[in-house]
Structure 1
């Protein structure tokens, strides 16, 4: 293990301080309220110092987005059993996704502040790709078991993610306390989605 010099430790501590204070601002005021000036004022450093660690506010938000997708992919991975067949995997993923969004709403808002990420964005991020791969594997397994060779699995992947995000976004934007239990409407939508994978050939 390489031992850090005193200067390196100080730099790491300051970077962590910037991250911690950024998260406090996000948690208290929302991610849109984050600014380099607010961070600098909070940690009592000059604005140019912040720029030595993060080139702009977007770079800090990208850090939290990456962290959020890592948490989401871990949660989905831990929820899945290799013995589950495709349709049950889809239901499990939907339940886990909902729970993650409710438990980590600040991360979720940052991760999807501009909507569902495009394919090129997903492929450029290991954390996003892991999440996407779990979705795709469950969909592919369902299509294969149903002998549905005509469906576009990548289109179905986008549809599935749109269903999940749509229901979560409606709840988050409602500004009310959100029930951790998956709503019946989402369960019904997932059942319908699975049906199309199995029988729309």
Structure 2
């Protein structure tokens, strides 16, 4: 390996170490505890080195948001690909979304601004658009009895999302008051089925 390649590899490793350290701080202390100085202390670098890779904390939050969407996209893609019928795909994808939110609580809080100030990410982030596009394609395939417009797909997407995100948010913000997993799963599946059935009625 040449010196140029070695330098690039070391830069990539340092960047990854910074992001991993930031996530570790958040997982142990919460988003409010995250600071450039804490990240530097954790990986035993000086703060100016961190600024060579990220100009501010917002840059780190943006990269972590991107990482979260990549994980979420992988999860819902795998869930979708296990089924043939559009109705089954839709349910599996939203259940994967639900499972992601609790398995990756810190990412979900950042991506959707649950119980914190959200990273200022526009909907034009390609990784976020990819998640919406996969769900939108399956929603479009659910319309069997009538012509479908982009507005129809968008409205149903936000109907699914608002109910599921609302239920997730309640459980993330009030973990001690959350209903049992069994009840949550029933509410989730009932909501998904109800919206799916409404599409062709």
Fold match by TM threshold 0.5: yes
Name structure 2 gaps, 5 residues minimum: none
- Could you list the per-position Cα deviations for residues 38-73 of structure 1 after superposition, in whole angstroms to 9, with x for gaps in the alignment? 112323333222111011111111111111111111
Q: Secondary structure at the match of 1:147?
A: coil
Q: Separation in 1 of the partners of 2:155 and 2:104?
A: 27
Residue of structure 2 equivalent to 1:121:
122
Residue of structure 2 equivalent to 1:189:
191
Instruction: State whether residues 73 and 130 of structure 1, in contact with CA within 8 Å, keep that contact through their aligned partners in structure 2.
Output: yes
Q: Separation in 1 of the partners of 2:134 and 2:184?
A: 19
Instruction: State whether residues 99 and 180 of structure 1, in contact with CA within 8 Å, keep that contact through their aligned partners in structure 2.
Output: no
Residue 182 (structure 1) shift:
5.3
Q: Separation in 1 of the partners of 2:175 and 2:114?
A: 19
Instruction: State whether residues 76 and 94 of structure 2, in contact with CA within 8 Å, keep that contact through their aligned partners in structure 1.
Output: no
Count of residues in correspondence between the two structures? 194
Q: 1:4–1:184: structure 2 CA closer, same or farther, 3 Å change rule?
A: same
Residue of structure 1 equivalent to 2:55:
55
Residue of structure 1 equivalent to 2:98:
98
After superposition, residues 155-174 of structure 1 pair within 5 angstroms as: 155-174=155-174
Instruction: State whether residues 148 and 197 of structure 1, in contact with CA within 8 Å, keep that contact through their aligned partners in structure 2.
Output: no
Q: Separation in 2 of the partners of 1:13 and 1:149?
A: 47
Residue 129 (structure 1) shift:
1.5
- Could you list the per-position Cα deviations for residues 153-173 of structure 1 after superposition, in whole angstroms to 9, with x for gaps in the alignment? 112212222122111111111
Q: Separation in 1 of the partners of 2:74 and 2:182?
A: 19
Q: Separation in 1 of the partners of 2:111 and 2:99?
A: 15
Q: Separation in 1 of the partners of 2:3 and 2:160?
A: 46
For the aligned residue pairs, the C-alpha RMSD in angstroms reads 2.8
Q: 1:85–1:155: structure 2 CA closer, same or farther, 3 Å change rule?
A: same
Instruction: State whether residues 76 and 96 of structure 1, in contact with CA within 8 Å, keep that contact through their aligned partners in structure 2.
Output: yes
After superposition, residues 121-140 of structure 1 pair within 5 angstroms as: 121-122=122-123, 124-140=124-140
Instruction: State whether residues 114 and 173 of structure 2, in contact with CA within 8 Å, keep that contact through their aligned partners in structure 1.
Output: no
Residue of structure 2 equivalent to 1:13:
13
Residue of structure 2 equivalent to 1:34:
34
